[in-house]
Amino acid sequence: MTTPEIGVIGLGNMGRGIADNFAKAGHATAVWDVSADARAPFEARPDTIVMSPGEMAAAGAMMVYVVPATPEIESSFEGPDGVLAMTGEGTIIFDLTTSFPEDTKRIAARAAEHGINYLDAAMSGGATGADAGALTLMVGGDEAAFEACRGKLDAIADNLFYLGDVGSGHAMKLIHNMVVHAVFLTNCEAGRMAERAGLKLEDMIAVFNKSNARSYASEARFPKHILSEKWDARSRVYNLNKDLGMAVRLAESLDMDARYARETSAFLNKAIERGMAEDDYSLLYPAFDDIRDME
């Protein structure tokens, strides 16, 4: 395989599954990660090729970025071997990161100057959803370009929502994550309250899941990663903190007093101060009281 249809940049917890599902669906798939260790499992595969982002752009591939945020994408744009200098006809970018909408609009405008159609496609579903090809994508950008790529995106997502102009997908993702993370921490606080009241955490979760208090946190996160004591939600506390910081920034840009977002962000900032940036975020539960009580 020398000419890729699709290029996946970023082979971490999410990107590995995404690249695997594109390849399994029969799409000629190129991959890249700044880490040689992350690239290594794909080098020996007959259905993928390791290729730089600039080379993907030169081939006119549909490029899918699964990196932390806008700065990592922008760094791949720069230089004589970068995406902007090497882009070929028909190159299209789908930005699956969680990023600030105004940053997305800025980088999309840069891409447009070089003939690249840039769409944000923020994702939900976590690493398990990426592995299963069952993500939800929240898409902003040129609608015709999105529709032209829908068949390819079906390989990685069960649900595709077109939301409007570029930046719309990332705005929706920040709002989505604001709710997800606040609800998770509310469940942590409720669990601590239940245990202090002499109740079992597993009983609280069982009741929640058969009542109006149920949520993704109670239905999936607590049973799979906390009650199981596996502590393997496969996302860092750093990621949650980044997301909530951007959600607060978005609220401020809209002249909103998003107090629940601010409270959630403040708690996560404390967790970072406690040295938990690289910890799996399920570990926020056993550390909950200590984090809350920090000055």
Rounded average pLDDT over 27-43: 97
Q: How many CA atoms lie within 13 A of 250 on its CB side?
A: 26
Rounded average pLDDT over 23-48: 96
Helix/strand number for the chain, H first, E second: 14, 8
Rounded average pLDDT over 182-195: 98
Distance CA 248, CA 256 (A): 9
| Separation in Å, CA 3 to CA 6, 17, 26, 50, 90 | 9, 21, 13, 11, 13
201 confidence band (pLDDT: 50, 70, 90)? very high
Distance CA 100, CA 170 (A): 7
Fold of 171-292: N-(1-d-carboxylethyl)-l-norvaline Dehydrogenase; domain 2 (1.10.1040)
Q: 39: which residues sit within 8 A by CB, 6+ positions away?
A: 11, 31, 32, 33, 50
Which of the listed CATH numbers 3.40.640.10, 2.60.220.10, 1.10.540.10, 3.40.50.720 matches domain 6-165?
3.40.50.720
Q: What is the pLDDT of residue 1?
A: 55
Distance CA 117, CA 119 (A): 7
Model-level pTM?
0.94
Structure tokens at 88: 């070929």
Distance CA 205, CA 213 (A): 9
The CA-to-CA distance between both ends of the chain, in Å, stands at: 57
What 8-state DSSP symbol labels residue 186?
A: H
pLDDT higher than threshold 70 for residue 22: yes
Q: Confirm if 232 and 282 have CB atoms less than 8 A apart.
A: yes
Q: What is the pLDDT of residue 293?
A: 94
What's the chain's average pLDDT? 97
Nearest to 151 by CA among 16, 1, 5, 2: 5
Q: Confirm if 55 and 32 have CB atoms less than 8 A apart.
A: no
Rounded average pLDDT over 208-223: 98
Proportion of the chain above pLDDT 70, given as a percent? 100
Residue span(s) of the chain under CATH 1.10.1040.10 come to: 171-292
Q: Confirm if 23 and 48 have CB atoms less than 8 A apart.
A: yes
Distance CA 213, CA 187 (A): 9
Per-residue model confidence as pLDDT tens digits over 59-114: 999 999 999 999 999 999 999 999 999 999 999 999 999 999 999 999 999 999 99
Residue span(s) of the chain under CATH 3.40.50.720 come to: 6-165
2 confidence band (pLDDT: 50, 70, 90)? confident
Q: What is the pLDDT of residue 132?
A: 97
Q: Confirm if 244 and 217 have CB atoms less than 8 A apart.
A: no
Residue type, 291: I
Rounded average pLDDT over 134-145: 98
